[in-house]
Homo-oligomer: A and B are copies of this chain.
Amino acid sequence: MPPQKDARTKLLDAAMAVIRGKGFAATSVDELCQTAGVTKGAFFHHFRSKEELGVAVAKHFGEMAAGLFATAPYQTMTDPLDRLLAYVDFRTAILAGEIPEYTCLLGTMVQEAYATHPAIRAACEREITGHALTLAPDIAALLARQGRSDIDPAGLALHIQGVLQGAFILAKATGDARVAADSLGHLRRYLTLLFETQPQRKALP
């Protein structure tokens, strides 16, 4: 039998599911306690406020994602372009199941709470940027291979993250993961056009 989850972990897992389904503001502490099967006393033992839970669940989501990506197939590729494209393929492959299962808790929270909950905004920025930047070394290697210095590796890594976040919104608006997958197909084509072409002529000094 798996070890019993503690109340804090139960609350964080409940928050991931409920907030991805209806947003942060619409999620009440009562509903989180009910979903987690813990008392309100337990909630306030672990979190001083719903905002503090919001900060903690951003980190919890980031850790869950880090575990998922650390063991994902793209990590086994040896060429940086193969690995980058396989990352996009992996993101496309996991657009499966119900919308709250494949969309991003961080994008959902920061969309509405960026101004009203600065601590949540900061936590979402940390996790979104942190994940995006895991791609930056491969992008830097690909740019170096082409001898081009007009693109910032971190900027392209964040663009990839932006396309993912936008794809989730398209899926939510249409109720259909295929439009998100189509958008990732365009991202894949962009990366291919960028890195499979001949090295660019260097800019004049």
Q: Is the CB of A26 within 8 A of B162?
A: no
Residues of B within 8 A of A165 (CB): 165-166, 169-170
Other than the given A158-B179, A163-B163, 9 more pairs (CB < 8 A) read A24-B112, A26-B116, A108-B111, A114-B173, A156-B186, A159-B183, A162-B180, A164-B166, A165-B165
Q: Is the CB of B189 within 8 A of A194?
A: yes
Interface size class of A (residues with CB under 8 A): 35 or more
> How many copies, total?
2
Residues of chain A whose beta carbon lies under 8 Å from any beta carbon of chain B: 21-26, 99-100, 106-108, 110-116, 121, 124-125, 128-129, 152, 155-156, 158-159, 161-167, 169-170, 172-175, 179-180, 182-183, 185-187, 189-190, 193-194, 197
